[in-house]
A and B are shown apart, each in its own frame.
Chain A
């Protein structure tokens, strides 16, 4: 099945470290997104990309950067991790060619803990 794959599934790091979360998809979708989820809350948009040459900031982009290496790959970096970036991170994709292009397909998430 076409899928959205996030690596790693879990990561523990220390304050000040640089860390990269990776996302790849085999769905052939053009749009990719990074969200974070804090306990008991909904998802907040960090960055999104509508194609390889398009990168946009979301609601909470400070402290994060992204790279769209190819249509199928979208990575999220924390340049200098801090404890309040501890959260569950989700990558998602959508297909602009369909009538329901806002329909999101999610990866399984990366649980990041910053100590």
Chain B
């Protein structure tokens, strides 16, 4: 079964708005990662947050991790049309990563 569930499944916003995606996971993890996938292409790593971290920033990305609730969120600020893609969380343990089903983000110009 999948490690994580992502919410919402689909999100549509206007350019310039912020986008927030949530991920819940089931088992213990060493870290949690977020990936981006443009339609039908390979996934690209965005950011990794370790289990002992609560928040991490990278450019317009902000990730939080709550291990007590087994949940994470990805915030993309000041979104652009080029941010349109699917976003996946992946919980990692013992060198293996298990992916959620993803959130499809559409940013309208």
The chain A residues found within 8 Å of chain B, CB to CB, are 4, 31, 35, 40-45, 48, 50, 58-59, 88, 90, 92, 94, 96, 100-109, 111
* Given known contacts A40-B101, A42-B102, A44-B2, A108 and B96 CB-to-CB distance under 8 angstroms: no
Q: Which residue of B lies closest to A102 (CB)?
A: B92
| Chain B residues within 8 Å of A35, by CB | 99
A42-B99, A45-B98, A59-B98 known; 11 new pairs, CB 8 Å cut-off, are: A42-B4, A44-B99, A48-B95, A50-B95, A90-B43, A102-B33, A102-B48, A104-B33, A106-B42, A106-B43, A109-B41
Contact assessment for A102 and B95 in the assembled complex, using a CB-CB cutoff below 8 Å: yes
| Tally of contact residues, B, Cβ under 8 A | 24
Q: 7 A-B contacts, Cβ less than 8 Å apart?
A: A50-B95, A96-B95, A102-B31, A103-B45, A104-B33, A106-B44, A109-B41
* Complex Cα spacing A101 to B92, Å: 10
The chain B residues found within 8 Å of chain A, CB to CB, are 2, 4, 30-31, 33, 35, 40-45, 48, 88, 90, 92, 95-102
- The one of A88, A101, A109 that contacts B95, using a Cβ cutoff of 8 Å: A101
Contact assessment for A103 and B40 in the assembled complex, using a CB-CB cutoff below 8 Å: no
| Chain B residues within 8 Å of A102, by CB | 30-31, 33, 48, 92, 95-97
| Chain A residues within 8 Å of B101, by CB | 40-42
